């Protein structure tokens, strides 16, 4: 089984672009953030669930590669898929595409932390089980 890739439709609005109508570079990260949030929600781990379990995710590192520009009114998709799961971390592969054309891609490292004190915290078993189910055969062990 290959890893499940979650995809979120995104439309480019004026607020996303610079004066030339091209998506400002940091907005690709915002599109990816939305895809991660909706991916987790689809798995059953929306903000209410996450906060009620006294945890949150923080971006530990991100490596982005920009390939082509998106423009005002483009219909895009922002994707997320699990690459690696650690005890208190995740590594995701993310992309922003226009059709089959990849505009930007990133590997995003997330740390699971306790909301009170922002200390590392192990992923709850229920979440680990769901994430492993969509990870596919590329189960690579521990820390992301």
CB 137 within 8 A of CB 126: no
- Dihedral (Cα; 118, 91, 82, 70), 10-degree rounding: 100
The catalytic position among 18, 61, 73, 101 is 18
CB 14 within 8 A of CB 105: no
Closest by Cα among 13, 32, 26, 30 to 71: 13
Number of helical H runs and strand E runs in the chain:
3, 5
Q: Quick check: is 18 catalytic?
A: yes
Secondary structure in 3-state letters for 114-127: ECCCCCECCCCHHH
User: What are the residue numbers of the active site?
Assistant: 18
């Amino acid at each position: 089984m290959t890893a499940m890739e979650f995809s979120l439709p995104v439309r480019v609005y004026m607020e996303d672009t610079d004066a030339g109508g091209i998506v400002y570079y940091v907005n690709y990260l915002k599109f990816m953030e939305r895809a991660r949030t909706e991916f987790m929600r689809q798995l059953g781990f929306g903000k209410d669930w996450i906060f009620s379990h006294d945890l949150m995710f923080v971006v530990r590192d991100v490596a982005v590669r920009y390939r082509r520009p998106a423009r005002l009114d483009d219909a895009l998709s922002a994707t997320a898929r699990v690459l690696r799961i650690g005890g208190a971390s995740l590594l995701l592969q993310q992309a922003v595409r226009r059709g089959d054309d990849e505009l930007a891609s990133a590997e995003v490292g997330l740390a699971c932390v306790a909301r009170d004190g922002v200390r590392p915290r192990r992923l709850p078993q229920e979440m680990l089980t769901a994430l492993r189910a969509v990870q596919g055969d590329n189960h690579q062990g521990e820390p992301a």
